[in-house]
Structure 1
Amino acid sequence: MPTRSARRLSAVAITVATVTGAVALAPAASANNPEPTPSTSITPLSAAGNGGVTILKKDPGGDVVAGATFNLLDSTGKQAASGTTDAEGQLTFQDLPPGVYRLKEVSSGSPLHEVVDDQDVIVTPGADTPLTIIDPFKPASVRLKAKDDKTGKLLAGSTVNIGSGDKTILTLTTGSDGTASGKLPINSRTGSDFWVKQVKAPAGYEIYTSVKAFKAKPGDPVTVTVTNAKTVTTPPPTEKPTDQPSNRPTPDKPGQDEDNPAPSASGTPTSDETASSTAAPTPGGSLAHTGADATPWLIGGAGVLIAAGGGALFAARRRRADNATDDGSTTS
């Protein structure tokens, strides 16, 4: 089939495609309506009953895109027509036999825009089929780096969320080389605003709590760097040797009795000592302080025994002297 010529029409086409979603990581371009509806106003193209296709090319912001190139393929895959959008973003294929064709965008004609996916187009006898095609903006390429804040060493295992407004768009985790890459959708010629927040720090590092803001334009490469400080660890305390004598009891040096506190350094007796010195003697059979209150009794008993022994010795000697006197008087 010979290639048909393309001409511009002044009539405005009906929109049958929608803008690609802005939350996709790598948005796929599509016209979102593979089977366009014929226009309500039909323009006769030829007496033979052939039809045509009119394309209006725009971007997500509503601006027309000139210089976009399209190929139209028939059911056998052979090129039936080819053309480029004019300054008003329009392109028309004429005098096409009725049937189903495949529309392929070869070039967007702009460094800021992506091409859309291929789609089917139905050519109706005696009618001009309108199509509005939206070329999405090229996504920005974002590269994440995680570094040690002291040495600059790249760190693996850093996870960040990247989003816009209150929505998270992309999550990246650095690999063994300390980097990660992704795509960010752009919805304006002048670029879009984004934020990045670390949600997981590399092992052995403190998490970076601040939120960084950045801007990316269509097709721009952007590098985001997150630095982390090492986790601070407190070593366990170590006991230092001391010259102070230990208060712990030893077999050859018993410890101080808990019930007999050491005297005050000022010489003033402690409350326990005062109470001990003024308390009444404990009745026999109960020793509140073993070996302390029994001493006066032992001393008194020893004195009594000594006195008794001395008296007995004195009495024995007196008796012996009296006997000797008696014997003398008898013999004289």
Structure 2
Amino acid sequence: MTIADTDLTLVDLAGYLPEKRVPADYFAQYAEDDDLTGNAMFRAPSFRHHAADGETSADMMIAAAKTLTERNGPDFLDDIDVVLTHSQLPEVPIRGCGGEVAHRLGLRPSTVLDVHNGGCAAFVHMIDLAGALLRANGGRTALLGLAQNSAAQVFTQPQVRGKPQASIPGDGAAVAVIGLDRGRGSEVLGVTCHSFGQYSGDMTGVADPPRKYWEAGSGQLHIGFTEAKIAKVLARGNRMVPEVAIEVADTIGVAPRDLDWFITNQPNRIFLRNWREALELPSERHPDTFDECGNLFAVGIPVTLDAAVGDGRIRVGDIVMTAAFAHAGDFAGAAALRWGGRP
């Protein structure tokens, strides 16, 4: 469902990148020659950041939250009613890190929810969920925490780091505060989310020799890409992200080519180019952090938005469209906001 003229605002957001900055040469020294070498999906970014040994999703979210409180004051998070978290790779089986994040920040929310299935579109998904939960429970503000923590933990494994897919992901985190207060922050003009369950089985984790992810074994887990799967993901992603962005743009009465900014997830340069061309936008209005950060999965949108606000590109009054698709295409969402400045 597409919602226009919402009562939501994005009060503020902050990103975090781990200190360890890894050049493409690190992966080039291990590169293997396999069937996917040279595929356009796996053209490596110049750099990516890797979480430190032992640095968890919660650690990175807390680091991003510290930026918010340093900018807005120590009491900025005191009135949080809802905490939503998304970790690309939950460190503890079954549960996520939402409870830990709330506790470490000294919060007493009425609702804590770990959102696992939003994938690269989790930021939009969480905005939508936060609005629904706040309206239903009478709350005023929600904290969204997102972490991409699989680059250092999965893609540097000895059996994985030589694969073409290994050099693409980077680690990082972001937090955002969402509120039901039109007088504070950036108005969320419209949001839409769509689920496509028929594609949910097309993104798989594999190992050699084969095993279930919870079973002991010598093979190290990685993403099971094949030429056929890549073709399907390219076709779906090329279609889905422009579709949801145009859907929201139409609902709020703005022609896609008239958007001030378009910020998406960033799997690779091919998608970035195709998406902006579909919306008839020049590259300078479609910022990304791919060459510095790689594919940040769900963290890509908020980190890029934070960077573009921080360097002055996005100004008060600008309309920003965010859009993404998840996994092999089982979810897609878009949210538009009118940037209202920092609090």
Structure in which a larger fraction of residues adopt strand: 1
Question: Comparing both chains, which one has the higher relative contact order based on Cα–Cα distances under 8 Å and sequence gaps of 6 or more?
Answer: 2
Structure with the higher fraction of residues in helix conformation: 2
The TM-score, its normalising length taken from structure 1, stands at 0.21
Give the TM-score normalised by structure 2.
0.20
